[in-house]
Amino acid sequence: MLSAVKQLARNWRWERMIQRTRSRLPYEQGQRYMDYLEACRKAYKAAEPDEPRFAALARDYWANGYCTFMPARGTELAQSMRARVATLAAAAGPQAWRDDRFYGGDTYRDFPEIRELLAGDLGKLFRAIYRAHFKIFYGMIFRSIRDADTPIYSQLWHADGGPGTCVIAIFALTDIGAHNGGTEMLPWPQSVEVMRAERRAAKELDAEAKALGPNADRVALRDVKCRFYERTIEAGYTSKVVRASGPPGTLLCFSNNVIHRGGYPEPGQIREVALMHAYPSMTPTPFDSYAAKGVEKTVGNPSGPDF
């Protein structure tokens, strides 16, 4: 009886953590980010109300964990940016692409297209989502090609596990869809259901991980969880899965904690995208700092919400 009560208490704490912080970080850590968001909202003085379009997209984001739209001049910007990537890659030589990530230029400093998006429609959406200023933790450009016989890494179902205030923005430089590994997502309510199932299956998953032996690497251990997600989604959630699709210039914004996968194209297909991780900010976006220092990725998550 006592053990059952303790389990009920643990389940209640877990539910509170997920619903309040939209993250599986330890509760105190996840709550710091949500508290910071509320402080940013209180400090925010919008020059004008959010445009109805972006207010509606923000509601979709908080309800489902994602939203997609075509920004102003989206296709034109995507085509221009992809051509610029090709030019910079030719100048940088073989080291321009490593592990399918572009190292031939900084995502903000070297691409006026990204600067236009952040100063325009993407920035408007970030502010509508946060009801506050925003800042960029990092940006990067990457491509997806069929380079393995089966999906690997982020091509498998997973949730990133970062702060609940992180919004991932993906700007498609090519068209995106099933043919080239367009991102698939399980909406937030269903993602939480699958996470509950994962929690119930914790003992079985731990046993499966231990069966790999003491020398199992991080990738093999992660695959245990990925396979569980795949089995669970295939068994009861395939009708709920959504995939980002559209022409070049399509913008997808989603929570890092929705269960998602992407980047496993059909043979001969390619997907190129620019990706940014955004967070709320107490002060206006520091574009001058980005122009001086760039926004390239150095670590996966910030050390705290006020970076």
Residue ranges per structural domain of the chain = 2-293
Q: Where are the beta strands (DSSP E) in 129-189?
A: 133-145, 167-172, 184-186
C-alpha–C-alpha distance, residues 92 and 280, integer Å:
34
pLDDT recorded at residue 291 = 97
Q: What CA–CA distance (Å, rounded) separates 12 from 18?
A: 10
- Pick the residue with more confidence: 159 or 1? 159
Please report, rounded to a whole number, the percentage of residues in the chain having pLDDT higher than 90.
85
- Dihedrals phi, psi of 142, to nearest 5 degrees: -145, 165
Q: How confident is the model at residue 1 (pLDDT cuts 50, 70, 90)?
A: low
Rg (C-alpha) for the chain, rounded Å, is 20
Q: Mind listing the pLDDT tens digit for each residue in 91-111? A: 999 899 998 899 999 999 999
Contact 123, 134 (CB under 8 A): yes
How far apart CA 250 and CA 185 sit, in angstroms, is 16
Mean predicted lDDT score pLDDT of the chain: 94
Phi, psi (5° rounding) for residue 242? Answer: -120, 150
| Token pair belonging to 59 | 């509601």
The whole-number pLDDT of residue 263 equals 87
- CATH for 2-293 is 2.60.120.620
What is the tens place of the pLDDT at every residue in 244-266?
A: 999 999 999 999 999 999 989 99
Residues 204, 157 contacting (CB under 8 angstroms): no
What's the chain's length in residues?
307
Q: Are strands 270-281 and 259-261 parallel, antiparallel or unpaired?
A: unpaired
The answer to whether 55 touches 128, Cβ cutoff 8 Å, is yes
Residue 89's identity, in one-letter code, is A
- pLDDT (0 to 100) of residue 8: 78
Residue 61 CA from chain centroid, whole number: 12
Q: Is 59 a residue whose pLDDT tops 70?
A: yes
Q: Which two tokens stand for residue 144?
A: 């997806």
CA distances for 72 relative to 23, 78, 160, 169, 223, angstroms: 32, 11, 29, 16, 39
Q: pLDDT by residue (tens digit) across 267-296?
A: 999 999 999 999 999 999 999 999 999 999
Nearest to 165 by CA among 52, 301, 3: 301
Strand ranges for the chain from DSSP E: 66-69, 97-98, 101-102, 133-145, 167-172, 184-186, 242-243, 251-255, 259-261, 270-281
Q: Which helix (H) or strand (E) holds 27?
A: helix 27-43
Two tokens, residue 135: 């800042």
Q: Is 203 exposed, middle or buried (0-12, 13-18, 19+ CB in 10 A)?
A: exposed
In Å, how far from its chain's centre is CA 119? 20
- Residue-level pLDDT at 260: 98
> Residue 12: its pLDDT value, please?
84
Q: Where does residue 171 rank: exposed (0-12), middle (13-18), buried (19+ CB within 10 A)?
A: buried
In 93-166, beta strands by DSSP E: 97-98, 101-102, 133-145
Q: What are the tens digits of pLDDT across the range 187-246?
A: 999 999 999 999 999 999 999 999 999 888 888 999 999 999 999 999 999 999 999 999
pLDDT of residue 25: 94
